[in-house]
Amino acid sequence: MALKVLQSFVSSVPTLWRLSMLLLLYQASHKTALASTRLGGNETDHLALLSIKAKITHDPMLITSSWNDSLHFCQWKGVLCGQRHLRVTGLNLESYNLAGFISPSIGNLSFLRIVNLKNNSFQGGIPHEMGRLFRLRFLDLSTNLMGGKIPGNLSHCNNLRILSLKQNKFIGNLPKELGSLSHLVELHIPFNNLTRAIPASFGNLSSLQYFSAEENMLEGNLPGSLANFSTQLQHLILGRNKISGSIPPDIGNLVSLNTLDLVYNQLTGSIPTSIGRLHKLQEVAFGGNNFSGEIPSSIGNLTLLNALGIEENNLQGNIPSTLGNCQGLLLLQLYGNNLSGSIPREVIGLSSLSQSLDLSRNSLSGPLPQEVGNLRNLGLLNLSYNKLSGEIPNSLKSCISLQYLYLDNNSLEGVIPQSLESLKGKLDLSFNDLEGEIPAGEVFQNVNAISVSGNNKLCGGIPALELPSCPDDKPRKKKMPLGLPLLIPTICGVLSIILISSILILCWLRKMRNQPSVASSSMDSWRIISYNKLLKATNGFSSSNLIGTGSFGSVYKGILNPSDQKAIAVKVFNQQRRGGTKSFMAECKALKNIRHRNLVKIITACASVDFQDNDFKALVYEYMENGSLEYWLHPVLSQTGKRPTDGMFIDGLDLHKLAKLALPERVMEIVDQNLLEEEEGASINSSNQMKIEKISHPPFHKTSSSMKYFHN
């Protein structure tokens, strides 16, 4: 594509020789034609022109109708004459739709310098007589139907500057004799059927600036003499032939080269690093060959490069990051190779790229760099058939000129960015690992513009894509059945009641779980009393109301009902002591299940919190001046000073067994030593006898009032 653009540009701008030649000869012929009728002219030229006219078989525009005796031949249309001798110096019959043959009499126009028969339908071969035109400088027979071999005697036209025979049907080999045209500046022979190799003698064309021979059937190797071409050579175009071999390493000598086109031949070997010396190169076209090895990093020296095409070869290795130095690059085509590694950020971020960036059908891996967003002017981006991974960068939204985006057959994942909705042309994301919902932009609404097949996790999109619906898609609206508007509020109301009831029940159950079990089991038959009432009954748990203090709490005297002045005893459990709660629950359970006429009666209990949100637990008894629950339950306790839960009672030993084993001989070993001190003035034997009697008949009347409530 870039080659065609360049060729059209070159063909539309004549070389300096072409311009100066045509202008000079036209001015000369125009001036002399005015005097031709007066001065006469050469009869040989006159007859030669009539012979040329006779060979023209088709003249729809009647160009040669003026070629008669009514006018001097220098006034005939398309005929140019010199000023001095009134000799024919040029024939300019371009684009007149003429048909026929070139008369051999053309060789008699010995002063002829320009022959331009371009873009007609002349047939036959080039007359050998043209080799006599030693003054000829410009010969353009392009775009005709001419054939046969190119005559080697054209080399006798040793002043020839421009020779253009393109787009005809010439056959055979290039005459080696043409290598002697030392003044030849341009040689154009493309689009013919020429065969064999380029003659080595062409290395002698020391003035050559433009050599194009594409679209032939030229064979053989590139001659080593190619490197000997003039250092003035600017364009070397040999694409689409059958040329084999390798590029001569000395091609770096062609320092004036602007275009190097060798596409679609059979060239092998590596790209010479000497190409980096061609600093004036603007186009390199090596596609469609069998080049191997790596792309030389020296190619980054070509800072004037506009187009680089090395597609369809066997290149390996990485894309050189030095290509980022080519800041004027418009087109980059490296597809169809074995390139690997990641895409250099310096390359994918070249903002100058505007025509095409095609890296498809390689083995490139890694994520697509965010720098792809720099391609604001790019029209085509093709990265298909690689091993790219990661997500599609959202920076693609900056590629506002993008018409074609091909990312298919990679391993890209994640969702399709919404930024791709603005794409104006073709989008191919097929055969990746994309997921999620298809965006809703314009390009995604045209089944002919998008391809997403082979992504099993995608959903949604237009029906033509045949993708499943997304899980969170809103269902399509359907006609509401009759009565549904009344049914929906009713159902919602019932569900709301159930929900609120469930919440209340859960809250109550949670609160009940946090309450001690005594509140639901041990005290279900008692009248629960509040902390506030107990606080008032005991005058704020005043020390003046304190009856006594034990290991698990304190006992206070109080008046619950001021009206009857009946005294109560309030046992407050110490929640800070370990086992306090356990002792409270155990005592509640025991008092709830035990009934005895001699036991102190429990009135109620309190399991709440105080005004500081601390746990508060208390038992309320009838107040008794004498007596103790524990002493009723364990008569031996008051004499031994030991509780049933004492740590010594293990392996089946309890308080009663201890007393049984000690009587009568070892009774002194188990008697509380505090009782012994109270028996003042008695003998040891009497004292021992008294202890035995006390064990049998406990003196409840002598226990202090506080002891009746402390059994822990």
> Which residue ranges make up the annotated binding site for ATP?
571
Q: Determine the Cα–Cα distance for residues 404 and 450; give it in Å rounded to an integer.
A: 10
Q: Tell me if 265 sits within 8 A of 240, measured CB to CB.
A: yes
Nearest CA among 294, 254, 304, 244 for reference residue 274:
254
Please say whether the beta carbons of 207 and 231 come within 8 A: no
Structure tokens at 447: 């089944």
Q: Which residues pair with 90 in a beta bridge?
A: 80, 114
- Phi and psi of 445, rounded to 5°? -95, -5
- Taking the alpha carbons at both ends of the chain, their separation in whole angstroms is 105
Whole-number Å distance between alpha carbons of 397 and 168:
49
- Residues 594 and 318: their CA atoms lie apart, in Å, by 95
DSSP conformation class of 662: H
Closest C-alpha to 174, from 190, 161, 158 = 190
Cβ-defined contacts of 497-503 (< 8 Å, 24+): none
How far apart (Å, rounded) are the C-alpha atoms in residues 707 and 621?
13
Q: Which amino acid is at 321?
A: S
Give the Å distances, CA to CA, from 553 to 431, 506, 577, 578, 712: 80, 34, 9, 11, 10
User: What residue numbers does the annotated binding site cover?
Assistant: 571
CB under 8 Å to 522, separation ≥6 — which residues? 585, 588, 589, 592, 605
Cα–Cα distance for residue pair 624/709, rounded to 1 Å: 10
- How far apart are alpha carbons 632 and 707 in whole angstroms? 12
Q: What is the DSSP string of 551-614?
A: SSEEEEEEES-TTTT-EEEEEEE-TTSTTHHHHHHHHHHHHHH---TTSPPEEEEEEEE-TTS-
Gap between the Cα atoms of 357 and 311, Å rounded: 11
Separation of alpha carbons 107 and 128, rounded Å: 8
Q: DSSP per residue over 80-136, as a string?
A: EE-TTT--EEEEE-TTS--EEE--GGGGG-TT--EEE--SSEEES---GGGGG-TT-
H helices present in 166-236, as ranges: none
Rounded to an integer, what distance in angstroms lies between the CA atom of residue 588 and that of residue 518?
7
Q: Is 490 helix (H, G, I), strand (E, B) or coil?
A: helix
